[in-house]
Structure 1
Amino acid sequence: MSGEHASERIIGGYARGGTDLPADEVWALEAHLEACAVCRERLSAAVTAEAPAVASLVDTVWSELAPQLAATATMPPRRRWSVRLSAWLTPVMAPWLAMTAAVTLIALLLDMAGPGPIGPGTGTDSGSGSGGDVSLLLLLAPVLPVCGVAASWSRGLDPAYELTAAAPRAGLYLVLRRTASVLAVVVPALLAGGLVTGVTAVQWLLPCLAFTSATLALGGVIGVTRAAVALVAVWAAVVVAPTLAADRTTFALQTGGLPVWGLVLALGTAVVIARRGAYSVLAAHR
C-alpha cells in the first residue's frame, strides 16, 4: 500500500490471482477495496488488461444472470442503523446477551431479597471482609461479559464462523468490536443493579474489564470459548465457592485487590496486542 491507494504492483498481482503477493498484503488490499471506489476501478481495469480470460468469464456469467436478476424482486434496502448495528453484533449473540441480562436481574433480585450485601463500599463492612451477606451481583459481575464474548466468537455457535475468519477485517478488529458490544450491554445493567444494591462501580468494573482482557489474551492461545470456560471455572472454584461458604468478602473483591486487577488488565491488554495476529485464524474460534 502506498499513500491513500494501493500500488500498481499490488493491484496487478491481485488481478493475476494474488499468488505472488504475501498474505498480509492481500488482506490489506481486500479491506481497502471495501471503501475505495478508485482502487476498485483500477482493479477492474487491471483484470481486463492482465487476465482477459477472467474478464471474459465474468462477462459471460453476468450476461446470463442479468435477465434473471432483472425479473427477480429486489429486497427492500436495509436501514442505516441496522447496517451499522450488524457490524458490531451478530444474531447468535442476542440470546447470550439476553441470558446475561437475565442473570444480572436474578442476582439483583436475590440481593434485594436478602438482608443486604456486605462488602467494600457498602458502608457496613468497610472492606474488611469480616462477615455478612455477600452481594451475588458483585460475585457474578467479573464473569458476566465473558459469556457474551465467548458466544460472539464461538466456532460452534456461529454457523458462519469460516466466512467470518476469512473476511478481510476479521481478527483482532472484529474481536474488539464484538467485545465492546457485549460490554455496552453488560456494564449499564451492572451499573443499574449497583445503584439499587449499593455495590459501587469501583468494586466490579476493574475486575470485569480484567477478566475480559484475560479471556481474550488466553483465547489467542487455546481459543476464546475454551478460555472463557476455563476462567469461569477457576473463578467459581477459587472465589465464588469459598466466598459463599465463608459468607464473607474475599480479598479479590475488596478494595485492596484493585491494584492486582489493574495489573491483570494491563498484562491481558499487552498480550492481546502482542498476539493480535492469533485472532485471524480459525483456531481462535474454538
Structure 2
Amino acid sequence: MSQAAADSLVVEAQALFREERFAEAATRFEKAAQLFPAHPHAWKGLGQTLLCLHKPHEATRAFDQAIGLAPTSATALWGGAVAHAEVGNKVVALSYLRRTLKLQPTWIEMARDVPTLAAFLRQSTRTTEDLRAVFGAFSTRTYRHAADDSRAVEVGRIIDQPAVGKWSFVTIGLSNHVWPDAERPRIELILASTIDTELCGQILANLVFHLADSEFYPEPGVVVRDVVGSLGADDLSVRLPHVYIAVPRLWDISLPLDLGPPPVTLAQVVPISELEYEVWRSNMNQLEPSLAKRRVDLADLRRIGG
C-alpha cells in the first residue's frame, strides 16, 4: 500500500519537476520517501529538486540515499557528484563522478561543462592521488597569478621529506599544462628545504607561471634565471636568485609518477647562486659535480652559494 502511494507521489512530483515547480515537487518526493524509504526514485528526485532549489547540502543526503538503494543508477551518481562537489566534499564527489563515467563514458563531455566537476577531470587531480600515494597526506596552499586571478597553482607541503627535519614543497597544477611538443611528459616540480617557509611555495608558484607563460619545458639540466631574485625575498633573492632543474634523486620515487596517458613525471627545483649559474653556463654538465664536490646540501636555503 505504501509503495503504491509512493509511486503515485513520485509520478506527480516528476510532472511538477518538468514544469519547474520545484518546491511542490520536493514536497511530494519527500512524502514519497517517507511513505516508502526504499524508493530510489523518490530519493533521487528529491535530490534533483533540492539542487534546483539551491540546497546542495540537503541534496547530498538525498542522493546518498538514492545511491545506496540503486548503486548503478548513473543519474543518481551524477546528481550526487554535483551536489557533493558544490558543498566541497571532493573525495565523495570524485568517487561518484568516476562511477558515473564508468557507467556512462560519453557523459565526460557533459561533466566538462559543469565547472565544479570539470576540476576533477584535470590531470592534476590524478597527479594529486599519485603524490599522496608516494608521500602520504599533506596540506596544500593555493597561489594565484599576480596579473590574472583566474590562474592558480596549488603547492603541497610535506613534512620530514626527503629526510627527518626537512620539508618538501610540490606543485599541483603544472601537469595540466600541455606543452607545444606533445610528446613531452606532463610534469610537476618539487623543492626540498631545511626551513619551513612560505617562500618555498612562492618560488614554485612563480616558476610555474613563468614556465607556462613562456612555454619553457623544465627539463633536468636547465637553469631558469631570476625565479627567486624576482620575488624580492631579501637576502635569499640575493644569495640564490636562480633555479636549477634536476632529477629528484633526494626522494625515493619511481618515475614517472603516472604512466598515463599522458605520462607525468617530477623534477627538482634547486635555488642556485650567480656563481653557480656561471659554472653551469660555462659547462652545463659541471654544475652537479661541482655542488657534490663542495658537499652542498641542495635543501639548504641558508647556504652562501659560493
Q: TM-score, normalization: structure 1?
A: 0.25
Structure 1 or 2: more strand by fraction:
2
Structure 1 or 2: more helix by fraction:
1
Q: TM-score, normalization: structure 2?
A: 0.24
